Structure 1
Amino acid sequence: MRCPYCAGENTQVKDSRPTEENAAIRRRRVCPDCGGRFTTFERVQLRELIVVKRSGRKMPFDRDKLVRSVMVALRKRPIDTERVERMVSGLVRQLESSGETEVASDTIGNLVMEALRGLDPVAYVRFASVYRDFREAADFHEVLGEIAEPVADDPDAPHIPFEGAVVGVAPLKKH
């Protein structure tokens, strides 16, 4: 493993331990050249995935990009990072075990939305607003109507009452 500080190639593993219910291995490493310390994670990868964007462009699947987009949706929400990692690992396993090497970005987006819907309704709306490219308040209204219904496969999911009322915002007064 190359050192991220000095690019030295002789890094040493100082500690290894399983994480994410033994789905990954966390390794603490040190570089003997510069003394830099860093952490790496090792996960099983069933197959190389290619993401097909809406434009038709193809690019390699990037798990870290998926984690970052989920974390943006969950910013300042009371969700443990461990739960996010488990959710993302489950999504990646689902994609890898589908048997397909090319996956449409829409498929990934829909899977993330469904996972967020069960995890945190606010994050679901945030992610949907970017993923579905909301242009007006009516778009939010539609998604809020979607989360007002209990999740079909989770009878314990919280029911969020939403009766179609749009909350108005009073104009700011100029002083």
Structure 2
Amino acid sequence: MKCPYCHHVDTQVIDTRISEEGDSIRRRRRCASCDKRFTTYERIELAMPVIVKKNGSRSEYESSKLRASLMLALRKRPVSAEAVETAIQRIEEKLLASGEREIVSGHLGELVMRELKRLDKIAYIRFASVYKSFEDVSEFVEAIQEVKKK
């Protein structure tokens, strides 16, 4: 670790502590050259996979886009904000657990539909109608019958 004062590369850890939340490590360091002390923090960095769209383009995963899609489908439906956040967390955990660097948008859409089916059947139908590009009423009927079965 470089010293932020003299930029010397030889620093010594003199104290290490885990944060109260347990999600980071605080280290006090001393520079061997200028003898000044400074603090560094070590945290886990999780990288979400890149989303590969139908046209082959790639974009960074954005939690805000996922939230906006869910909120649009759930508009005027009796679902709490807490339930939406829990659904987003489940989707993000599944994305991280996959270990993949890239995920096709279709897979993300399927994860969203699963969560919406769990949260609210009407929101699920709304999302599915756009996601699956329903062309006629029979496709709506099929989706509704699928929801009724379960």
- Shorter-chain TM-score above 0.5: yes
Q: Which one has the largest radius of gyration? A: 2
Residues 102 and 138 (structure 1), Cα distance of their counterparts in 2 relative to 1, 3 Å cut? same
CA-to-aligned-CA distance 1:74-105 (integer Å, 9 cap, x gap):
00000001110111011011101111010110
Deviation at 1:64, TM superposition (A): 0.5
Report the Cα distance in structure 1 between the residues aligned to 2:48 and 2:75, rounded to whole angstroms.
29
Corresponding residue for residue 139 of structure 1: 139
Aligned to 2:126: 126
Q: Deviations over 1:34-70 (max 9, x none)?
A: xxxxxxxxxx762232000011111111110000000
Give the counterpart letter for 2:145 in structure 1: G
Structure 1: which 5+ runs fail to align? 1-21, 23-43, 151-175
TM-score by length of 1: 0.59
In 2, Cα distance between equivalents of 1:48 and 1:143: 31
Once the two structures are TM-superposed, the CA of residue 72 in structure 1 deviates from its matched residue by 0.3
User: Percent identity between the aligned chains?
Assistant: 39
The answer to whether the aligner puts 1:148 opposite 2:148 as a matched pair is yes
Q: Which residue of 1 aligns with 2:65?
A: 65
**Does the CA contact (< 8 Å) of 2:125 and 2:143 recur in 1?**
yes
Structure 2, unmatched stretches of 5+, are 1-20, 22-43
Does residue 49 of the first structure (1) align with residue 49 of the second (2)?
yes
8 A Cα contact 2:51 2:103, kept in partner: yes
Structure 2: distance between partners of 1:146 and 1:107: 19
2:85 is aligned with what amino acid? Answer: E
- How many pairs are equivalent? 108
Question: Which has more helix, going by share of residues?
Answer: 2
For residues 116 and 48 of structure 1, the distance between their equivalents in structure 2, rounded to whole angstroms, comes to 21
Alignment-mate amino acid for residue 147 of structure 1: V
Report the TM-score, using the length of structure 2 for normalisation.
0.69
Supply the AA of the counterpart residue of 1:83: A
